Every structure is written in C-alpha cells, then in structure tokens.
Amino acid sequence: MPLIRRCFAVDLHDDPERIAAYRKWHAPGGPPAAVNAAIRADGVESLQIWFAGDRLFMIMEQDSARMPDPETKRARDAGNPDVAAWDALMAQFQKPLPFAPGQTWVEMEPIYSLADQPT
C-alpha cells in the first residue's frame, strides 16, 4: 500500500470565540463517527490538523490504491448527510485563503524535501 502525503491549508475567521469553537469540534470525540468513517473510507491512514494564529494545515497520508478521484469523492460526500452537515458546519468557521476565493482546504505543492538534498 503506497502512501501519499498530502497537505492542505485554510484560514479561520479571526475571531477568538469561533476559533475556540472550531478547536473544540476537533477535540477527540468532536467529529461525528460517520465523518471519521468517511475519511477512512477514502484510504486516509493518518490525518492531523495543525493550527497557528488563524491558519490551519492538514497533513494526511493516504493509500494511493484506495484514493477516490475528486469527482467520486465530491459525489460520495454530498450523498452522505453526516458529511454534508459537517462540511456545512465547518464552513461557518473557515474562510478561503486570499488567493483561492470560494475554496477551502487548498492542496499545497511540496517544494522541498531534505531527503532530496545532497548529503
């Protein structure tokens, strides 16, 4: 099972109460079980969200053999009422990055790896 590391970024609305609520929703037991199951069904073996100021970074490792194409994932998520409700709830806290209007969780491009550097 070849794992692919994927990283994403999104901003939160710069409001301490909203940020505290977002963090609470992501504490252990916060996300609904159906949301965690949907993530795992996409072949995600590991997923972490890191926080700084009002910016979030998501780092995931995903089994490339079980990774759905984007259209299949969108359709599957839209057809799952628990995932759709979660996405709508989270959208209240998130705001697009300045260069990606209308989009959340922008996938990042890797540009440096120590492993690729000469020794």
Active site amino acids: 13
Residue 28, classified by CB atoms within 10 Å of its CB into exposed (0-12), middle (13-18) or buried (19+), is exposed
Contact 26, 49 (CB under 8 A): yes
Here the tokens at position 39 are 């993530």
Helix ranges (DSSP H) in 3-80: 16-25, 33-41, 70-78
CA 29 to CA 47: how far, in whole Å? 15
Cα-Cα-Cα-Cα dihedral sign, residues 44, 50, 51, 57: negative
